[in-house]
Chains A and B, each alone.
Chain A
């Protein structure tokens, strides 16, 4: 554009600008402290409305009372004094959303915190929205490939599912979620990682890992660190799901990881107590169930008429001393469609991911599993269950009958093969191949100590020489012919040794 044209355009814009008198309702701060403000006035204020405090600080009206409004302040509150005026904005708390957020690290209000400049966005989504209704949904049909053998085979996750990851501290909960994100390269799934109440160092490490594996190309990180005020920790998961809904409305599939919801519940408890809401069990307010149910209900699989997008939710809950009967864990277990239960005992035994196969379930995911995986996984489920029962007898190895010995040896090899190091997700076809090989006894001659080596060589062998078979399995094809091909391939591999 030439200079003249720009000037003309600018003049046009300026002359078209109408002078308006802004009318805003005003309230006065009565008291302020601990991130909470009581405001008089604001008679027409709505629940969850954004309020403008002096110094470009915003708050949210949460308690609407007879004379006053109780609001939480989003961000720094030290400069707010008694007698300050508070303006209504008329807007329900909402965050900017859009494609430009992909690859960025933002805070709970959608403002970038990664020093790469501002994020341009035209659209705003309210952080609280009613979840999609029954008529717009359909059952899950496509899988989320986590790339973790134990999960994809035994507790598969479908797109649109809510699968809880639960376990004590230091059991690899975040590792499961991060591995899942890393494995989504080229899978047409946008990932949103919501970090709530975590140490800044841990968030930085996670972001660095995601970058290292090229996962930031399709990932948004929403962060509310441990040092941020509790209102931000409380809204961060809602911000994440609002951003996910934007993509879902565009017909895309999204994965949201909430790491973790225990900290969000703590933040909400703190806020509720400061707002003088009556405490209930474990001092949580009465609506702490609704806090999580309304968030996780927003995960869904839409039907074709509604665009066919989906939101898969992977909430994380941290238990204290393996107590899953505490208030928050039981709540979230009952809301979600299954849980991945990680145990510290298994973790220290060297079984990583430290998945407790018996207690972990996926209530809907099996309908989304690909056909080959379904076929080969059926066998190991039975194998693992029988092994669990007989594991105790393993030490009397010499006194056992042949059949029992065989089952124990199979179980030990399955356990070994389901171990997987962090940051190394495995493609489905390779998972199918190795699980098929082990469950059909092609590894029975291999020493347990050298199973890992055997497995990695098997992957190399299959990738090199059986690429057409692998392609078919990746596509989800399965027939007697393919099974025979797989069998022959396993025999070839065993012979080669």
Chain B
């Protein structure tokens, strides 16, 4: 049995294979890729592989995806301010979560920057206890 590949690896393979191909060739490559998925019984995972592919492609293009969580709706300007902090190509999603009380939580791919009121209060509680 060949070594099990993760969805991430499939996404990488797809990205490498389609990098510089266009037109008819691209169609051929995609067809072969689907056949590979079927052969390795990974067809069910295709949705996940696609989302991995999107994430990977964005990373290769230098686009950073961030998720901004706030307690209330924030306007575009504020969101843009936050975007600027993370540099040039930033795609920001806004999520509203009343539980965090106030402040802001920014989630990047592998980091979480927690500036929420809830965490601050918890830290204060730990300090006073």
Contacts and interface: CB of A to CB of B under 8 A. Distances in A.
B107 interface: yes
B8 A25 contact: no
B128 A13 contact: yes
Nearest to B106: A21
- The contact size tier of chain B is 10 to 19
B128 A87 contact: no
Nearest to B124: A17
A214 to B, nearest CB: 33
B113 A26 contact: no
A26 B9 CA distance: 20
A13 B120 contact: no
Interface residues of A, number: 21
B114 A22 contact: yes
Nearest to B110: A41
A20 interface: yes
A94 interface: no
Contact of A27 (B110, B119, B123, B124): B110
Interface string B93-116: 000000000000001011111110
Contact of B111 (A10, A13, A24, A67): A24
B32 interface: no
A374 B114 CA distance: 66
Contacts of A27: 110
Q: Which of A13, A23, A87 has the most CB of B within 10 A?
A: A23
B127 interface: yes
A19 B107 contact: no
Contacts of B9: 67
A17 B115 CA distance: 14
Interface in B62-120: 107, 109-115, 119-120
A40 B109 CA distance: 11
Interface string B15-54: 0000000000000000000000000000000000000000
Contacts of B115: 19, 21-22
Contacts of B112: 22-26, 85, 87
Contacts of A41: 109-110
Given A21-B115, A26-B111, A26-B112, A67 B124 contact: no
Contacts of A20: 123
A41 B127 CA distance: 30
A491 B124 CA distance: 75
A14 B8 CA distance: 46
Interface of A: 10, 13-14, 17, 19-27, 40-43, 67-68, 85, 87
7 contacts: A17-B127, A21-B113, A22-B115, A22-B119, A23-B111, A24-B111, A85-B107
